[in-house]
C-alpha cells in the first residue's frame, strides 16, 4: 500500500458526459501528479500540482482540468468524454519535486461507452 | 524534446535466467533516469534510479547504469524469479516535475 488513495476504482459512463476523479496523497506529500495509461498511448504525464499550484503540464487535453485543494487532495475533471478517453488514470504524490520518489495510487479505471 | 524508448514485450524467461530490458532516451538537458515496476492490478513502484552519468542504480537484484554516451539505461538482473513477473517502465525527468515514460515491457517468468 503506497498510502495514495484514489476514488472511485472503476467508473463507467457515456460519451459526452463529465466525470471527476479524486486523489488523496500520502500524508505530508505536497506534490500530486496525474497520469493516463492507455493501451495505445502508454503512460502519459498529464499535470502536476505543488501545494495547490500548477507546476508542470504534459499532454493534457483542453477538455481535462485538475486542481489541488488546501487539504492537498486533488481532483481531475474530464468533460465531453470520448471513447478514446477510456484508460487507467493514476495519481502519484511526492514530498516535493526535486529528487523525491513518486508514490503511485492504485488507479481509477474509466470506461466510456 | 524528451522521450523514452524501451524494448517491446512480452519477454518470456525461465526462472533463474538472465534479464535485460533495453531503454534508450532522448533529452534536451541532463535528466535523471528511473525504472518503475507495475504488478498486476497495482500502481507503479519505483524500482531504481540514477541521477547523473555513470551512476548505477540497484535494488532487489536489479541494476541499471546511466550511460550518457549511448543515451541508455538498460535494466538487468542476473537470475529472475517468478515473482519478478510484471510490467517494467523506463522513465526520465529533468526537473522532477515532468516525467516521460516508455511504453512498458511485460516480463513473464516461467517456473
pLDDT tens, A74-110? 999 999 999 999 999 999 999 875 566 889 999 999 9
Q: What string of DSSP letters covers chain B?
A: --EEEE--S-EEEETT--EEE-EEEE-SS--EEEEEEE-TTS-EEEEEEE-STT-EEEETTEEEE-BTTTTB--EEESS--GGG-EEEEEEEESSSSS-EE---EEEEEE-
Give per-residue pLDDT as tens, A27-78: 989 999 999 998 877 889 999 999 999 999 998 999 999 999 999 999 999 9
Contact list, B32 vs chain A (CB under 8 Å):
99
A105–B43: do the CB atoms touch at under 8 Å? Answer: yes
Give the closest of A4, A43, A55 to B104, CB-based: A43
Amino acid at each position: 500500500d503506497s498510502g495514495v488513495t484514489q476514488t472511485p476504482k472503476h467508473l463507467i459512463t457515456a460519451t459526452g458526459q463529465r466525470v471527476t476523479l479524486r486523489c488523496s496523497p500520502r500524508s505530508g506529500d505536497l506534490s500530486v501528479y496525474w497520469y493516463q495509461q492507455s493501451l495505445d498511448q502508454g503512460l502519459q504525464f498529464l499535470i502536476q500540482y505543488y501545494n495547490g499550484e500548477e507546476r508542470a503540464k504534459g499532454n493534457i487535453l483542453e477538455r481535462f482540468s485538475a486542481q489541488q485543494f488546501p487539504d492537498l487532495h486533488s481532483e481531475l475533471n474530464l468533460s465531453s468524454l470520448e471513447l478514446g478517453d477510456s484508460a487507467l488514470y493514476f495519481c502519484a504524490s511526492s514530498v516535493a519535486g526535486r529528487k523525491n520518489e513518486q508514490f503511485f495510487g492504485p488507479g481509477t479505471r474509466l470506461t466510456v461507452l | 524534446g524528451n522521450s523514452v524508448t524501451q524494448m517491446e514485450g512480452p519477454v518470456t524467461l525461465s526462472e533463474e535466467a538472465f534479464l535485460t530490458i533495453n531503454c534508450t532516451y532522448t533529452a534536451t538537458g541532463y535528466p535523471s533516469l528511473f525504472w518503475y515496476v507495475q504488478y498486476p492490478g497495482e500502481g507503479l513502484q519505483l524500482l531504481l534510479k540514477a541521477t547523473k552519468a555513470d551512476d548505477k542504480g540497484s535494488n532487489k537484484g536489479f541494476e541499471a547504469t546511466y550511460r550518457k554516451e549511448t543515451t541508455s539505461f538498460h535494466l538487468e538482473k542476473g537470475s529472475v524469479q517468478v515473482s519478478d513477473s510484471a510490467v517494467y517502465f523506463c522513465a526520465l525527468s529533468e526537473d522532477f516535475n515532468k516525467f516521460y515514460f516508455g511504453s512498458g515491457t511485460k516480463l513473464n517468468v516461467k517456473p
